[in-house]
Amino acid sequence: MISLELNEDYQELTKTVREFANEVVAPVSAKHDAEHSFPYSVMKQMGELGLFGLPFSEDFGGMGGDYFALSLAIEELARVDQSVAITLEAGVSLGAMPIYCFGNQAQKERWLPALCAGTELAGFGLTESGAGSDAGGTATTAVLKDGSWVINGAKEFITNSGTDISTLVTVTAVTGTHKRDDGSTAKEISTLLVPRETPGYNVEPAYDKVGWRASDTHPLRFEEATVPEENLLGEQGRGYANFLSILDEGRIAIAALGTGAAQGCLDEATAYAKTRTAFGRTIGSNQGISFKLARMAARVHTSRLAYYCAAARMLAGKDFKTEAAIAKLVAGEAAMDNARDATQIFGGYGFMNETLVARHYRDSKILEIGEGTTEVQLLLIARSLGL
């Protein structure tokens, strides 16, 4: 028989992060959301717990765990605060993981210890105003001159790019062209490590976002930003391909985040339905409410199984692209649907920003857009069917 029970180490991690989320994150989440403020104290404690180093080797200051451990931690944090969860997810899977997977020894030794400790944060600069799902539309350029890369362009929606502890961003840029098999010309896209202090690296004012308001997101502008030739990350021309592999893994983590958000909505709505009375009885005793909660529970269960499956295949060294796309699709929709239903159960109180379900309602929509839209996931799944 196949067992889906977590082993003792995973169970202990889940318990630890759940307690941390309840005792440290939850009490200040409404305040940071209302103020659009970054929770530095929470991040410091997460670093001390080792959460930013979970999937990395101890050689670079990591915890020696794996990507599934990271996903479990993200799920628990997302139950109470999606902004905190996405800061961890982006800091690890988009910020540190490209360096860990494609960096040379010197790059790993230079950047990973602080990133694993959570004392510094990194971001990944892919999205542009005309290049999101179509990353081949990248317009940012990097030209090699006298042993240095000179970068010009702009990036949008870059997480962890403007905090006091943001230290670098990995930028995708056009570094040349190459011929396709059919004779046509295509852009050569590479990735470059750009430290925060680089002249010409400009962090624009933060966005006024609908949700994830305590996470850090900025547009970036590069004007003759110059970095050493050795700041090339991985092989020249392999930047886009490498990022796609990072994105496949990231979809598992985002699915875990969506699962946690869906679970948080279920927890809040169930507790409320057991105590809120109308017409002389609790509203949870009404079939209309109880069936809504039952559907919410089914969504949580399905999305958790989906990301567990994708993670298991990844850790076993099997192809997991389709399973990751399915997990991301299912979990994103589960979070949004559960947030909508939880808000309905709460009624007028669900429309008040100080309630957790209201924050989940605002936060969850981006899970159907960020790190690969719902439509992109459907495209990937359809391709796996030979369509």
- Residues serving a catalytic function are 371
The structure tokens listed for 320 are 């997991």
Spatial distance between the Cα atoms of 346 and 273, rounded to a whole number of angstroms:
8
How many angstroms separate the CA atoms of 18 and 344, rounded?
A: 26
Bridge partners of 232?
192
**Two tokens at 56?**
């990395």
Is residue 75 within 8 Å of 263, Cβ to Cβ? yes
Task: Report phi then psi at 177, rounded to 5.
Answer: -135, 165
Please state, in angstroms and rounded to a whole number, the distance separating the CA atoms of residues 274 and 283.
Answer: 7
Amino acid symbol at 165? I
Question: 193 pairs with which residues across the strands?
Answer: 170
Q: Are 190 and 237 in contact (CB under 8 A)?
A: yes
- Using CB atoms within 10 Å of the CB of residue 3, give its burial: 0 to 12 exposed, 13 to 18 middle, 19+ buried: exposed
